[in-house]
Amino acid sequence: MIRVTVQGTRYDFDQEHLLVAEARELKTYTGLTPPRWAMGIDEGDPDAVAFLIFLSKKRAGETLRFSDLDNLDYADIEIEPVEEPADAADAGQEGEVPAGDPTGPPPGTGTTPTDGSGATSPPSPTTSSTPPATSAD
């Protein structure tokens, strides 16, 4: 998630999801591909920043043209990453169990809860598909 504040208005932008139509607009307006756009935002590239603002406003339901952003002052723009809460991010990962979940991990995952925190231990050596090492006596 990226928080974009433009002239005092805040937009929370989910950069994990980009529609093909949005990617085409990105390419049309800036010449950037999605990976280069992400790097451009980090580097402060004016086209990348302008498209981030454009898309943030568009997703919020505002009607504008890309060229409407030409007169923005960089001093009126703030871009900052927003960390999602740790429990929300952890709960969605495959094979992990939220703290306090009495059901444990799904059967067959090969992991065992260690301390109730949702952390897991590595699979037991008896369930490993790697043959045990042999010694040359």
Quote the mean pLDDT of the chain.
Answer: 76
pTM above 0.85, yes or no: no
pLDDT of residue 124: 45
Among residues 44, 43, 39, which one has the least CA distance to residue 15? Answer: 39
Bridge partner list, 112: 121
- CA-based radius of gyration for the chain: 23
Pairing of strands 9-13, 2-6: antiparallel
Tens-digit pLDDT profile for residues 45-103: 999 999 999 999 999 999 999 999 999 998 999 999 888 765 554 544 444 444 444 44
What tens digit of pLDDT does each residue of 14-47 get?
A: 988 999 999 999 999 999 999 999 999 999 999 9
Q: H-type helices in the chain, by residue range?
A: 20-30, 34-43, 46-59, 86-91
Give the C-alpha separation, 5 to 77, whole Å: 6
